[in-house]
C-alpha cells in the first residue's frame, strides 16, 4: 500500500472545486477508493449528494469516465458497463486497445440500503467484477434529512422527527454489510474515512478480488448530523471508538475485525455533539439513551463472537 506521502503526490481522480459541503465525508472516501484502483477506473453514482455535488453542467469533478443515470440502479448500471467491457475485451475492440479496467459504483445509504438494494443484490448474485461503495451518512441528506433504513435508532430526521409523542426513529438500522456478505461475495467490509490506512487497504483488496466487492463506509454529514464542519473526522472516529460503526471485513467468508478500540468509549460521547440526538439528553429520555447503549453493546459483542470465524 502507498504511504501517506506517496498518496499526497498522486493526481486526484476527483478534482477539487466540487460543490459538496465543507466537512462532508464523501470526497475523502471517493478519493481514497479511486486511488486504490491503481490504473484505469470507470465509475457510476446513484442520484444523491455525490452526483449533484460533482457535476453541475457544464462542470465535472470527475477525471475518470463517470455516469449517473438514476437513483436505484447504480449496481445495474455498473453491471452493464462491466459487461460491455468483457464483451469488447474478448472481441479485441476496447477503445484505445487492450487494458485492465476497474469498475466502481457509489451510492448513498438511501440509494443502497433502500431503493437500490434489489439492483445491488442482483449484481452481487450475477458476480460482476466490480466494487460497490456505500457512503452511509445515515439519512436522505440530499433531499433534506429524511430517515432511511440506515438511520440510527432514535435519530431526529424530517420524516422521523423527535416529536412530543415519538422520540425520533423507532427502528434499529438495517445491517446491510451482513446482508451483502450473505451473497457469499469474495469481499465485504466496513470502513471509516478517519482511518485512511484501513480504508485504503480495504479498497485495494476490494479492487483486487475477482468478483463483486462491497464497502460500507461511515460518512459524516454536518448538515444532517447538526455538527461543525471541522469536526467531521473526529465524529467519524468516535463512531468507531464507541463501537457503533465497527471496522471489519469478510474475506472469502471469514470475518475479521480490523480495529478494536483499546478503550470502548460510551455511546453518549458520539451522540451528544450531534444535534440529531439532542432530545436523548433530556432527563426524561435517559432510558432511551440507555436502551441505545445496550443495543450497541449487544451488536458489538455479536461481532466479537464472530471475529476470526468463517460465517
Q: Which of 6, 10, 12, 56 binds another protein (CB under 8 A)?
A: 56
Residue 58 near another protein by CB under 8 A: yes
State phi, psi for 144 to the nearest 5 degrees. 110, 45
Cβ-based neighbours of 201, under 8 Å, separated by 6 or more: 1
- Greatest alpha-carbon span in the chain: 68
Residue 114 near another protein by CB under 8 A: no
Residue 81 near another protein by CB under 8 A: yes
Residue 143 near another protein by CB under 8 A: no
Q: Directed axis angle between helix 196-208 and helix 26-35, to 10°?
A: 50
Strand ranges inside the chain, DSSP E: 41-45, 66-67, 102-108, 131-136, 187-191, 213-218, 247-251, 254-259
Q: Which of 18, 31, 35, 68 binds another protein (CB under 8 A)?
A: 68
Residue 10 near another protein by CB under 8 A: no
User: Given the rule CB under 8 A, which of 51-59, 157-165, 178-186, 202-210 is the region that contacts another protein?
Assistant: 51-59
**Beta carbon nearer to another protein, 67 or 179:** 67
Output the CA torsion 3→102→133→227 (10° steps): 50
User: Shortest gap between Cβ of 96 and another protein (angstroms)?
Assistant: 5
Residue 261 near another protein by CB under 8 A: no
CA 188 to chain centre: 11
What grid cell was written down for 222?
454536518
Radius of gyration from C-alpha coordinates of the chain = 19
Residue 96 near another protein by CB under 8 A: yes
| Cα(103)–Cα(154) distance, integer angstroms | 36
Residue 197 near another protein by CB under 8 A: no
Residue 18 near another protein by CB under 8 A: no
Q: Which of 17, 95, 283, 308 binds another protein (CB under 8 A)?
A: 95
Residue 88 near another protein by CB under 8 A: yes
| Cα(238)–Cα(252) distance, integer angstroms | 29
Q: Which of 20, 21, 94, 306 binds another protein (CB under 8 A)?
A: 94
User: Given the rule CB under 8 A, which of 80-88, 200-208, 251-259, 262-270 is the region that contacts another protein?
Assistant: 80-88
Residue 157 near another protein by CB under 8 A: no
Q: Which of 63, 264, 282, 309 binds another protein (CB under 8 A)?
A: 63
Residue 223 near another protein by CB under 8 A: no
Q: Which of 15, 20, 38, 122 binds another protein (CB under 8 A)?
A: 122
Residue 44 near another protein by CB under 8 A: yes
* The length of the chain, given as a count of residues: 311
Burial 26-43 (b: 16+ CB within 10 A, else e): bbbbbbbbbbbbeeebbb
Cβ-based neighbours of 291, under 8 Å, separated by 6 or more: none
Positions that interact with another protein (CB under 8 A): 40-42, 44, 51-52, 55-60, 62-70, 72-73, 75-81, 83-88, 90-91, 94-96, 99, 101, 118-119, 121-122, 125-126
Amino acid at each position: 500500500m502507498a504511504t501517506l506521502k506517496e498518496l499526497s503526490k498522486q493526481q486526484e481522480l476527483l478534482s477539487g472545486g466540487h460543490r459538496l459541503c465543507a466537512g462532508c465525508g464523501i470526497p475523502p472516501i471517493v478519493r481514497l477508493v479511486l486511488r486504490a484502483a491503481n490504473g484505469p477506473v470507470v465509475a457510476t453514482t446513484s442520484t444523491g449528494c455525490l452526483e449533484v455535488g460533482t457535476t453541475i453542467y457544464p462542470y465535472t469533478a470527475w477525471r475518470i469516465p463517470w455516469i449517473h443515470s438514476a437513483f436505484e440502479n447504480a449496481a445495474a448500471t455498473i453491471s452493464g458497463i462491466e459487461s460491455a467491457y468483457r464483451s469488447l475485451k474478448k472481441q479485441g475492440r476496447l477503445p484505445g486497445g487492450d487494458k485492465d479496467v476497474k469498475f466502481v459504483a457509489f451510492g448513498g445509504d438511501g440509494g443502497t440500503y433502500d431503493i437500490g438494494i434489489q439492483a445491488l443484490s442482483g449484481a452481487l448474485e450475477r458476480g460482476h467484477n466490480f466494487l460497490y461503495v456505500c457512503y452511509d451518512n445515515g439519512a436522505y441528506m440530499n433531499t433534506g434529512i429524511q430517515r432511511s433504513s440506515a438511520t440510527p435508532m432514535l435519530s431526529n430526521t424530517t420524516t422521523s422527527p423527535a416529536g412530543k409523542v415519538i422520540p425520533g426513529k423507532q427502528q434499529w438500522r438495517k445491517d446491510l454489510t451482513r446482508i451483502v456478505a450473505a451473497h457469499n461475495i469474495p469481499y465485504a467490509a466496513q470502513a471509516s474515512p478517519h482511518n485512511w490506512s484501513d480504508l485504503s487497504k480495504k479498497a485495494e483488496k476490494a479492487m483486487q478480488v475477482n468478483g463483486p466487492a462491497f464497502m460500507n463506509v461511515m460518512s459524516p454529514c454536518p448538515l444532517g448530523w447538526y455538527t461543525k464542519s471541522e469536526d467531521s473526522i473526529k465524529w467519524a472516529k468516535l463512531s468507531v471508538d464507541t463501537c457503533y460503526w465497527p471496522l471489519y471485513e469478510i474475506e472469502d467468508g471469514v470475518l475479521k475485525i480490523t480495529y478494536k478500540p483499546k478503550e470502548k468509549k460510551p455511546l453518549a460521547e458520539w451522540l451528544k455533539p450531534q444535534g440529531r440526538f439532542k432530545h436523548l439528553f433530556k432527563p426524561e429520555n435517559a432510558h432511551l439513551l440507555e436502551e441505545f447503549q445496550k443495543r450497541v453493546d449487544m451488536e458489538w459483542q455479536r461481532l466479537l463472537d464472530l471475529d476470526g470465524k468463517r460465517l
